[in-house]
């Protein structure tokens, strides 16, 4: 599995950051990846990927592990990482 590990700093506090991540969560759902939240942490699960989102008072970390189905579908981990990073930065207004 290919791993994507993104950490983005913010100054919103965990509760506000959790609200801001909703747009990113909607984007993931379009690709069949669902988030199951428990507090400020979520487990990500889909047909071709799994991972997690962890939110603290000053950062959000997204980890995505691409499975064999993603590789077979031609998913480029570097392009996916750039897309995720761009969307997270947009959610936090840091781009």
Distance CA 81, CA 87 (A): 10
Whether the Cβ atoms of residue 87 and residue 27 lie closer than 8 Å to each other:
yes
DSSP symbol at 71? H
pLDDT value at position 51?
Answer: 93
Distance CA 23, CA 10 (A): 16
Rounded to two decimals, the pTM is 0.86
DSSP symbol at 46? -
pLDDT value at position 1?
Answer: 46
Q: Domain segments of the chain: what residues?
A: 2-91
Distance CA 36, CA 93 (A): 24
| pLDDT, tens only, 5-63 | 999 999 999 999 998 888 788 878 877 889 999 999 999 998 888 999 999 999 999 99
CATH code for the domain defined by 2-91: 3.30.310
């Amino acid at each position: 599995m290919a791993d994507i590990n993104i950490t983005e700093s913010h100054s919103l506090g965990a509760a506000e950051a959790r609200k801001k991540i909703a747009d990113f969560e909607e984007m993931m759902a379009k690709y069949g990846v669902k988030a199951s939240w428990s507090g400020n942490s979520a487990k990500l699960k889909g047909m071709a990927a799994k991972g997690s989102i962890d939110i603290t008072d000053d950062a959000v970390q997204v980890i995505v592990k691409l499975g064999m189905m993603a590789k077979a579908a031609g998913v480029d981990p570097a392009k996916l990482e750039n897309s995720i990073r761009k969307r997270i930065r947009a959610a936090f207004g840091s781009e």
